[in-house]
Structure 1
Amino acid sequence: MPIFFKRLVVLMRAHVDKASWQLLFMATLIHMSVTWGLLWLSNETALLPLSTFFYYYVVTTSTVGYGDFSATTDFGRLVVATIQIPFGLALFGVLLGKAGQFVTFWVRRGMTGEKDFAHLQNHIVIFGWHDVRTKKMVDYILGDNKREERKIVLAVTDMMEHPLLSYPDVAFARLTSFTDDEQLTRINIERADKVIIDGDDDNQTFTTALKLSRVVKPEAHITAHFLDDSKALLLREHCSNVECSASMSAEILVRAMQDPGSSRVQEELLSTLHGDTQFSLTIPVEVGSLTFEDIFGYFKQHHDATLLGVAHDLNGLNMDLNPPLDYRISGGDILHYIAPQRVLASEVNWPGLCSKPRC
């Protein structure tokens, strides 16, 4: 019995020391019960119905005091002056302080990247932060006005606070490692739909991509950016679900030299913020066989879009650019095109395209 009593005292002291919600709830409930009991003894019948008492208790204890309900007997006024208001006001102040502390703590967790995002699904995760490049990536993602609405999680390992607080669609997670299972669970990487890996260096990008390629769901798509072409080639050999990009500065410089204006074409095609942009669309699997000519004319006439080519996988490893007009296309293939805005699969009249005799 003494051991039980000591444990009870320790537990109660812990609640008192941190002013826990459980303690505050119990204290408020006890204070309300004592106040109601004393008002009942004071014969304050107008204040005793529960709905009336709760309203009266909150208004009077918080010192708002509308005056529509008040104690009328001498003993009742004494109870209000010595029991209800002094102790209730103290409880009310502690509750407000606790609530403010909770809000501050929650906001602070969001700024420092300590929140748990295990509840997210089909979200976008960006690994790595670069002062200029990462913000541009987020702007380009949000600039797609027909994109699927989903949360963007920015994951970093640097000691920093949320760099994109002004972006409501961007959450912030500071991880100890990009390859630790527990840390990856916190951002629910297993349910992410799109992943961008842009590490501090090629080694971090390579190890992160290697880890995530075996963790994400089968239909998820991973893109990784490298400065070194050799690491990109090596990763392509081992991870078929990772699309690797490397710096194209040399190619762009030569093309701009040989064909002036080429660099501006590249900028226009890649940016969703202005001008026509390059997009992709997966043909529904139930669509029958088509030719490039069927889709080319339809896209230009109905969506002001120009088809560039056809790929047979998400990474575009077997892409055919500018194929002949009789090139056969079927459900599951991926169309790459240029358009003022994204064309959704639901906006295309696939049955009309497939109504021709050869379909």
Structure 2
Amino acid sequence: MILTQVSEQQNIRPYKVPILTRIISRIYSELLDLKWWLLSLFTAAFFAISWILFRFAGETEITESLTTYIYFAATTASTVGYGDMSPQTQTGRLIAAFWFFPGALLVFSAFLGRLAGGMVERIRRMADGLGSYEKLKGATVIVGYHRDHTPVMIENLIAGQDGDKDIVLLTKNSDVDLPEGIKLVKSDRLDALSSLKRAAIAEAEKVMVYAGSDAETFNTCLAIRELNEKLHIAAFFEDRDTARRAAKLAGLEAIVSNASEALVRAAQDPGAGKVLKALSAANVGATIYSATVNAQTDTSALKLALDASNATLICVSQDGGHDFAFAPFPPLVKEGSAFFYLCQKRLSAQQIAGGFGGGHVSITV
């Protein structure tokens, strides 16, 4: 008895689904999803069959050329119906009424629905932070989100008038509150190369990193530098040693909290804390801005040029930006050196150069 059961089990063969059944099932599945390739195939087949039917019905005006037929099909399917072309024979009119009109409307509606659905899905993904801005160039990217700080950073970016037209925020937070027009990218990791690419880092102009910890900020800065070697990175650190190492290894501008210094200034010179805050905000009073001279420039002439625009020279950064010279200033500002000035708003390169009394001075802002 046992041997008989074993023999019967060995004779059992797995049931194989016929190839035709699998093909039909696949097509049905693709049809439910309204795949582009299948929709295009059905559309081509429908219009080809319709052309043949109209041709046999004697509708020579409609089928005389491909351009004419496409024009007739397009005006009919879109319900525009200019009326300058229509079937003339009885058979042609029957074909149009019971076959072509409903079929063309169905095809047109399917294409329109598929296109609208794709656009809505893309917009939804972008709004949910799941989209990609990899091809965006010249963007300003903020990595990390803090409910109390990030909106202020964005406000200052816009007020700073530095051409921050496209601002992209990369965050791990699921709940963010952003001004209109800010592009959102969400990811589980801020230092993931794929996420940074989606946030337009590869072609960005500048980036600010303010992650949840110094370690995460450090790793993110290294990943950013891997994607873009020339990008200007400004990153916030709590620890000064970490900030120093990050500045050296990742070639970034490290910002460390100056709360202790500001506290001392406020204690020794009442009101100094408010002044420091105002100088840092682009939307409150005068603000510190910077520019670069592209040729060796006389410092006195530079001061006069700034004075002409109600701006005040604060300091000059020479020798690769490691040293800052305050008053008394050096007599000459070297080529490629940055200078910092105080003004109500950012000055354009033309405004600064125009203050040199007609002399040709190249300035980069």
Which category of TM-score, normalised to the shorter sequence, fits these structures? 0.7 to 0.9
- Which position in structure 2 is the counterpart of 1:196? 208
Q: Say if 2:150 is the partner of 1:164.
A: no
Q: Deviations over 1:82-107 (max 9, x none)?
A: 11122222222222221121011100
Task: Verify the 8 A CA contact 1:282 1:334 in the aligned structure 2.
Answer: yes
| Alignment counterpart, residue 205 of structure 1, candidates 217, 220, 229 | 217
Equivalence map 1:338-353=2 (5 Å):
338-347=342-351, 348=353, 352=359
Task: Verify the 8 A CA contact 1:294 1:353 in the aligned structure 2.
Answer: no
Match of 1:141, SS state, is: helix
- Which position in structure 2 is the counterpart of 1:357? none
1:277 counterpart letter in structure 2: T
Q: Say if 2:34 is the partner of 1:19.
A: yes
| Alignment counterpart, residue 293 of structure 1, candidates 290, 293, 300 | 300
- Which position in structure 2 is the counterpart of 1:136? 152
- Which position in structure 2 is the counterpart of 1:181? 193
Q: Deviations over 1:290-331 (max 9, x none)?
A: 343231122112x221000011267x5311222x24443111
Q: Say if 2:40 is the partner of 1:35.
A: no
Task: Verify the 8 A CA contact 1:293 1:326 in the aligned structure 2.
Answer: no
Task: Verify the 8 A CA contact 2:141 2:200 in the aligned structure 1.
Answer: no
Q: Say if 2:93 is the partner of 1:77.
A: yes
| Deviation for aligned residue 1:127 | 0.5
Relative to structure 1, the CA distance from residue 6 to residue 181 in structure 2 (aligned partners, 3 Å threshold; closer, same or farther) is farther
Task: Verify the 8 A CA contact 1:282 1:345 in the aligned structure 2.
Answer: no
Considering only aligned residues, what root-mean-square deviation do their CA atoms show, in Å? 3.0
Task: Verify the 8 A CA contact 1:313 1:334 in the aligned structure 2.
Answer: no
- Which position in structure 1 is the counterpart of 2:233? 222
Name the CA distance, whole Å, in 2 between partners of 1:174 and 1:137: 18
- Which position in structure 2 is the counterpart of 1:256? 266
Relative to structure 1, the CA distance from residue 312 to residue 3 in structure 2 (aligned partners, 3 Å threshold; closer, same or farther) is farther
Task: Verify the 8 A CA contact 1:276 1:341 in the aligned structure 2.
Answer: yes
Q: Give the number of equivalent residue pairs.
A: 341
| Alignment counterpart, residue 107 of structure 2, candidates 91, 103, 125 | 91
Name the CA distance, whole Å, in 1 between partners of 2:175 and 2:71: 46
Relative to structure 1, the CA distance from residue 313 to residue 90 in structure 2 (aligned partners, 3 Å threshold; closer, same or farther) is farther
Name the CA distance, whole Å, in 2 between partners of 1:84 and 1:54: 13
Relative to structure 1, the CA distance from residue 5 to residue 331 in structure 2 (aligned partners, 3 Å threshold; closer, same or farther) is farther
- Which position in structure 2 is the counterpart of 1:243? 253
Name the CA distance, whole Å, in 2 between partners of 1:50 and 1:149: 50
Match of 1:136, SS state, is: helix
| Alignment counterpart, residue 231 of structure 1, candidates 231, 242, 252 | 242
Relative to structure 1, the CA distance from residue 78 to residue 299 in structure 2 (aligned partners, 3 Å threshold; closer, same or farther) is same
Larger Rg: 2
Task: Verify the 8 A CA contact 2:316 2:329 in the aligned structure 1.
Answer: no
1:339 counterpart letter in structure 2: C
Under a length normalisation based on structure 1, what TM-score does the superposition of the two structures give? 0.83
- Which position in structure 1 is the counterpart of 2:13? none
Task: Verify the 8 A CA contact 1:175 1:183 in the aligned structure 2.
Answer: yes
Relative to structure 1, the CA distance from residue 115 to residue 298 in structure 2 (aligned partners, 3 Å threshold; closer, same or farther) is same
Match of 1:311, SS state, is: strand
Name the CA distance, whole Å, in 1 between partners of 2:256 and 2:330: 33
Equivalence map 1:90-109=2 (5 Å):
90-109=106-125
Relative to structure 1, the CA distance from residue 197 to residue 149 in structure 2 (aligned partners, 3 Å threshold; closer, same or farther) is closer
1:330 counterpart letter in structure 2: K
| Alignment counterpart, residue 319 of structure 1, candidates 296, 321, 324 | 324
| Deviation for aligned residue 1:149 | 5.4
- Which position in structure 1 is the counterpart of 2:132? 116
- Aligned-pair identity (%): 27
Match of 2:102, SS state, is: helix
Task: Verify the 8 A CA contact 1:311 1:317 in the aligned structure 2.
Answer: yes
- Unmatched runs of 5 consecutive residues or more in structure 2: 1-16
Range with bigger deviation, 22-31 or 263-272: 263-272
Task: Verify the 8 A CA contact 2:298 2:333 in the aligned structure 1.
Answer: yes
Match of 2:211, SS state, is: coil
Match of 1:109, SS state, is: helix
1:131 counterpart letter in structure 2: R
Relative to structure 1, the CA distance from residue 82 to residue 240 in structure 2 (aligned partners, 3 Å threshold; closer, same or farther) is closer
Name the CA distance, whole Å, in 1 between partners of 2:40 and 2:48: 12
Name the CA distance, whole Å, in 2 between partners of 1:203 and 1:271: 27
Name the CA distance, whole Å, in 2 between partners of 1:137 and 1:335: 23
1:297 counterpart letter in structure 2: L
Name the CA distance, whole Å, in 2 between partners of 1:319 and 1:78: 87
1:82 counterpart letter in structure 2: F
Q: Select the structure with the greater relative contact order (CA < 8 A; seq sep ≥ 6).
A: 1
Task: Verify the 8 A CA contact 1:123 1:192 in the aligned structure 2.
Answer: yes
Task: Verify the 8 A CA contact 2:134 2:202 in the aligned structure 1.
Answer: no
Relative to structure 1, the CA distance from residue 110 to residue 165 in structure 2 (aligned partners, 3 Å threshold; closer, same or farther) is farther
